[in-house]
């Protein structure tokens, strides 16, 4: 994957304070800050932007699992466990990262107004990076939340899984954890509702965070795909790792022409192609 360009990092750094203000405003508007102290949010917004730019300046790659990203990941882990304890849901927690997209893309658009190709390419890079960080946040939120639930000895997980808008017309549903039947049902229903509400054309169901895909999980997925198609939208399943792909074959599952991708980035690229969005690398 092409890296973020230095000029993007520079633009980001230049607009750090504006970004902080806009991002904070968007967070408040989205309801993601409910029950949290305003000074605390402001601090977290500023801290995260500082960490992000300094990591990117050090040449942090697109792969957020590398050591350069340690500080950023730790920051998000702390944040998500704090949110889990504060009783925020995963949607609110994940919004912390996803709400940064809007203001950030606006800044990039302003910075490179005369270079649309560059904007498209850099926005995609940025988007992939933020998706990775957002998913990491949800994952660690889930871990902390599971610890809380375990302590309370609750029997069922009743977490809402966020339905995330990745692009105009493209929704993503990152599924995380055990797809026990009850929760799956709720999650799928909320995805269908969001498709109706937003008129999205393509839904990406990401199963990177699902450790086991057995016939029951597959049945849930197929039902959802069928419903999505009946609504006139398209569906892509991403996060089908090699070991999962092989297991699906051995189980004898027929995915009925569902398009699958190894990761969310590939699925998004395909979705954009289908929508006729062309992304070209700036030379």
Which is nearer to other proteins, 57 or 180 (by Cβ)? 180
Binding mask 193-232 for other proteins (x = CB under 8 A): ------------------xxxxxx-xx-------------
Which helix or strand (DSSP H or E) is residue 170 part of?
strand 170-176
Cβ contacts of 99 within 8 Å, gap of 6 or more: 23, 26, 27, 30, 32
The sign of the CA dihedral 218, 224, 230, 236 is: negative
Contact stretch for other proteins (CB under 8 A) within 21-29, 63-71, 135-143, 249-257: 249-257
Question: With binding defined as CB under 8 A, does residue 191 bind other proteins?
Answer: no
Question: With binding defined as CB under 8 A, does residue 180 bind other proteins?
Answer: yes
Which is nearer to other proteins, 57 or 254 (by Cβ)? 254
Which is nearer to other proteins, 159 or 213 (by Cβ)? 213
Which is nearer to other proteins, 70 or 158 (by Cβ)? 158
Question: With binding defined as CB under 8 A, does residue 178 bind other proteins?
Answer: yes
Which is nearer to other proteins, 151 or 250 (by Cβ)? 250
Instruction: Name the minimum Å distance from CB 179 to other proteins.
Output: 10
Question: With binding defined as CB under 8 A, does residue 276 bind other proteins?
Answer: no
Which is nearer to other proteins, 158 or 197 (by Cβ)? 158
Pairing relationship of beta strands 259-261 and 170-176 according to DSSP bridges: unpaired
Which is nearer to other proteins, 252 or 276 (by Cβ)? 252
Closest CA to 192 of 237, 135, 232: 232
Pairing relationship of beta strands 170-176 and 164-167 according to DSSP bridges: antiparallel
Contact stretch for other proteins (CB under 8 A) within 90-98, 115-123, 133-141, 243-251: 243-251
Question: With binding defined as CB under 8 A, does residue 181 bind other proteins?
Answer: yes
Question: With binding defined as CB under 8 A, does residue 150 bind other proteins?
Answer: no
Instruction: Name the minimum Å distance from CB 66 to other proteins.
Output: 21
- Residue 50: alpha-carbon gap to chain centroid: 21
Question: With binding defined as CB under 8 A, does residue 187 bind other proteins?
Answer: no
Alpha-carbon distance values, 236 to 60, 89, 204 (Å): 29, 26, 5
Long-range contacts (CB closer than 8 Å, 24 or more residues apart) made by 18-26: 18/103, 18/107, 19/49, 19/100, 19/103, 19/104, 19/107, 20/45, 20/46, 20/49, 22/102, 22/103, 22/106, 23/49, 23/99, 23/100, 23/103, 23/104, 26/99, 26/102, 26/103
* Residues within the interface to other proteins (CB under 8 A): 155-156, 178, 180-181, 211-216, 218-219, 242-244, 246-247, 250-253
């Amino acid at each position: 994957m092409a890296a973020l360009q230095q000029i993007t990092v520079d633009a980001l750094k230049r607009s750090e304070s504006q970004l902080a203000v806009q991002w904070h405003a968007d967070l408040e508007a989205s309801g993601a800050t409910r029950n949290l102290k305003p000074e605390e949010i402001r601090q977290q917004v500023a801290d995260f932007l500082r960490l992000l730019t300094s990591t990117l300046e050090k040449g942090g790659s697109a792969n957020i699992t590398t050591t350069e990203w340690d500080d950023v990941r730790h920051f998000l882990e702390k944040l998500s466990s704090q949110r889990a304890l504060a009783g925020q849901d995963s949607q609110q927690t994940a919004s912390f990262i996803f709400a940064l997209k809007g203001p950030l893309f606006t800044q990039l658009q302003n910075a490179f107004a005369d270079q649309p190709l560059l904007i498209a390419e850099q926005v995609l890079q940025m988007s992939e990076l933020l998706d990775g960080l957002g998913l990491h946040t949800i994952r660690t939120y889930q871990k902390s939340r599971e610890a809380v639930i375990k302590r309370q000895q609750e029997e069922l997980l009743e977490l809402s899984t966020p339905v995330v808008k990745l692009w105009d017309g493209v929704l993503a549903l990152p599924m995380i954890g055990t797809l026990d039947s009850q929760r799956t049902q709720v999650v799928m229903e909320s995805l269908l509702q969001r498709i109706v509400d937003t008129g999205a054309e393509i839904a990406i169901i990401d199963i990177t965070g699902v450790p086991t895909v057995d016939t029951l999980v597959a049945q849930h997925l197929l039902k959802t795909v069928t419903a999505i198609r009946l609504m006139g939208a398209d569906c892509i399943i991403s996060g089908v790792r090699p070991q999962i792909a092989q297991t699906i074959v051995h189980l004898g599952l027929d995915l009925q022409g569902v398009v699958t991708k190894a990761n969310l980035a590939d699925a998004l690229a395909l979705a954009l192609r289908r929508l006729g969005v062309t992304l070209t690398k700036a030379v």
